[in-house]
């Protein structure tokens, strides 16, 4: 018989490939048998989110956090969900908690995007700049330059925005998102 970690790994792969046939049944059985299995609740949240069951996903992520308040990926995913439904302040709070505890660059990126969408362009730029500072070899440099350019443009800093857009294009000439927004 497989051990629990192997089963959870297989479930995660199934979720990533959107093969949900037995995922919910297995996760239900695991959470019944192991009610403190944080990873099972996390995967349940991830699976529920994939199929659009937002409330159930929130419940699963909240259960992760209840069981282990340092389970930062649950905060990240909950923040991502909150952002996707327009709950920007709540998303910013979750990302800020992760940043406070870990300095995780992806949390800065996500928080910057949520700040941008909430109208805090200066705060978004500060978060993007922080990533440049702490992650000198970031793999998404083009995306960071592009996002920072958007915020600068919305602040009326069109010359600086253009510099960021041009740098993004230089780093990724095939970046379709760069051509979508023609500010």
- How far CA 56 is from CA of 45, 59, 63, 67, in Å, comes to 7, 5, 11, 17
pLDDT tens digits for range 13-29: 999 999 988 899 999 99
Sign of CA dihedral 74, 69, 118, 112: negative
Give me the pLDDT at residue 174, please.
Answer: 84
The whole-number pLDDT of residue 1 equals 45
How far apart are alpha carbons 129 and 74 in whole angstroms? 25
Domain ranges for the chain, please list them: 1-69, 90-183
Q: pLDDT at position 136, please?
A: 77
Question: How many angstroms separate the Cα of 121 from the Cα of each of 40, 82, 113, 157?
Answer: 37, 19, 9, 11
Q: State the pLDDT at residue 179.
A: 62
* CATH class, range 1-69: mainly alpha
Residue numbers of the chain with a pLDDT score lower than 70: 1, 138, 140, 177-183
- Shared fold status for 1-69 and 90-183: yes
Report the candidate in 28, 76, 21 with the shortest Cα–Cα distance to residue 56.
28
pTM of the model: 0.87
CATH superfamily of 90-183: Tetratricopeptide repeat domain (1.25.40.10)
Would you call 103 helix, strand, or coil by DSSP? coil
């Amino acid at each position: 018989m497989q051990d629990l970690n192997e089963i959870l790994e297989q479930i995660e792969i199934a979720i990533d490939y959107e093969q949900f046939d037995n995922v919910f049944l297995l996760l239900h059985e695991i959470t019944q048998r192991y009610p403190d299995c944080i990873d099972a609740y996390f995967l349940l949240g991830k699976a529920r989110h994939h199929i659009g069951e937002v409330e159930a996903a929130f419940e699963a992520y909240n259960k992760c956090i209840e069981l282990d308040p340092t389970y930062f990926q649950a905060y990240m995913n909950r923040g991502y969900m909150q952002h996707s439904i327009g709950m920007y302040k709540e998303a910013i709070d979750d990302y800020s908690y992760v940043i406070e505890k870990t300095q995780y660059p992806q949390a800065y990126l996500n928080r910057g995007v949520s700040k941008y969408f909430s109208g805090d362009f200066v705060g978004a730029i500060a978060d993007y700049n922080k990533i440049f500072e702490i992650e000198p070899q970031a793999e998404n440099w083009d995306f960071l330059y592009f996002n920072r350019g958007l915020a600068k443009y919305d602040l009326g800093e069109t010359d600086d925005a253009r510099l960021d857009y041009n740098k993004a294009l230089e780093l990724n000439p095939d970046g379709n998102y760069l051509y979508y927004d023609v500010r």
